[in-house]
Structure 1
Amino acid sequence: MSEIILHISSGQGPEECAWVVAQLAGVFAAEAAAQGLMCEPVEPVTGPCASALLRLSGDDVHAFVQARTGTIRWIGTSPFRPLHRRRNWFVAVKPAPTAEDALDFSDADVRYETLRASGPGGQHVNKTDSAVRATHVPTGLAAFSQDQRSQFANKKIARLKLAMLFDERRHRGAEDAKRALWSQNHALERGKAVLTYEGVAFRSR
């Protein structure tokens, strides 16, 4: 059984695009379930969010991800500005890069720190040091995870986020690496959407 982490990003888009990201997390979960696949958010998706990570697993997960990789268009009225004339909103979807994809990324250069988790997340919160911060020592890039149930799982997600930051740094330069991770909207190819959804029910077109 294969597993892929899918990254949905609103990039530099407005709040409507962040809203679409959150809605797509639910839409993809339903579509995956209909195909016999498992799909769950890596971290809680609550309200509009600039970025979401989904964990997908199953026998045909690669085909599912491939069909959704690229620009996704949503056609509808802004849920925040009903009088806004814009009707087309775009987000980006792609598999999250792994540490193995980043050729210069070495786990030997990563420092892990455990911290006490805070906020919602279950009985373990504020009782165990389950949260993890991963820092790439040579570059100073850091990523944090606290929403998984175990320290091991949080370490895995923090490492994944760090690999994503590292990949963005390699492609865009160190100056805006952290900001660039969640700022992909300018690269979206409008008019070349791989999938289009319409209305609040997110009907596929």
Structure 2
Amino acid sequence: MKKIIQITAGSGPAECCWVVAQVLKHFIKELSDFKMEYAILHKVKGTENRTLQSVTIQLKGKELEPFLNTWIGTIKWIGKSSFRKFHKRNNWFVGIQEVTRISELNFNERDLKYQAIRSSGPGGQHVNKVSSAIRVLHIPTGIQVVVMDSRSQHQNRKVALERIQIKLQEKQIESLKNSMQQQWENHMSLERGNPIKIFTGSDFKQKKKEKSFKTKRNQLKTDLRKQLE
């Protein structure tokens, strides 16, 4: 199984970019512990040294889905800023999101299906009686073109091959645009509530999430009191 994920600081400040760099270290270490393969596809550096605005990583492994279930979401770091020592904020958030993979349209003529058809339109009886037009279908994508530019079937086949390649390139570019748009949306849609992992301190230790029922218990007491009044 292969997947692509992005660790992003969103629109957060330099502190969040520092957290991205730290999360990347922990993420890669855990990948190694679970014997997952990875390749860093793209990095965007932050404004400060040793910080990252975002990083995109391709992952490969048998148990990739359950592994990512423990990482995909919001990551929270609790600590003092090293860039602004007198800043009062202690909570910083980054996100880990899955990016839709771009389909690999490796062109192979064996994936093409050619069909000779009768041409339509002006050209006299010869055009109508001879199957000189060519329809070519790219089976994996369903993209097809019809060429009837020439009375020569061979020439139409050659032109059809060129046009189907252009259409496949256009589809690949469109997929790339959609992927880039999704990455940008990941930057802007970072949720700060209910983090999946919490780290704390300058040494970036993982903090266990402690479930508290205090608020719920107090609410139940209030509801019970109202019923007894």
| Aligned amino acid, residue 93 of structure 1 | I
1: CA distance between counterparts of 2:85 and 2:167? 51
1: CA distance between counterparts of 2:44 and 2:201? 20
Alpha-carbon deviation of 1:190? Answer: 2.2
Residue 65 (1) aligns with residue 64 (2): no
Indicate how the Cα distance of structure 1 residues 70 and 44 shifts in structure 2: closer, same or farther if over 3 A, else same: closer
Indicate how the Cα distance of structure 1 residues 166 and 45 shifts in structure 2: closer, same or farther if over 3 A, else same: closer
Residue 183 (1) aligns with residue 198 (2): no
Indicate how the Cα distance of structure 1 residues 61 and 85 shifts in structure 2: closer, same or farther if over 3 A, else same: same
- TM-score, normalised relative to structure 1: 0.59
Residue 88 (1) aligns with residue 88 (2): no
CA contact (8 A) 1:65 1:95 kept: no
1: CA distance between counterparts of 2:178 and 2:80? 36
Alpha-carbon deviation of 1:60? Answer: 0.9
| Aligned amino acid, residue 191 of structure 1 | G
1: CA distance between counterparts of 2:42 and 2:102? 19
| Aligned amino acid, residue 85 of structure 2 | P
1: CA distance between counterparts of 2:173 and 2:97? 24
> Unaligned regions of 5+ residues in structure 2, if any?
104-142, 144-165, 208-229
- TM-score, normalised relative to structure 2: 0.54
Asked which structure has the greater RCO (Cα within 8 Å, sep 6+), the reply is: 1
Match of 2:36 in 1: 37
Indicate how the Cα distance of structure 1 residues 202 and 108 shifts in structure 2: closer, same or farther if over 3 A, else same: farther
Alpha-carbon deviation of 1:181? Answer: 4.2
182, 198, 201: which one pairs with 2:200?
Answer: 198
Alpha-carbon deviation of 1:86? Answer: 0.8
CA contact (8 A) 1:29 1:40 kept: no
Q: Percent identity?
A: 28
Alpha-carbon deviation of 1:70? Answer: 1.0
| Aligned amino acid, residue 5 of structure 1 | I
Decide which structure has the larger Cα Rg and report it: 2
Match of 2:20 in 1: 21
Match of 1:127 in 2: none
CA contact (8 A) 2:39 2:57 kept: yes
| Aligned amino acid, residue 108 of structure 1 | K
Residue 75 (1) aligns with residue 78 (2): yes
Match of 1:164 in 2: 179
How many equivalent pairs are there?
Answer: 142
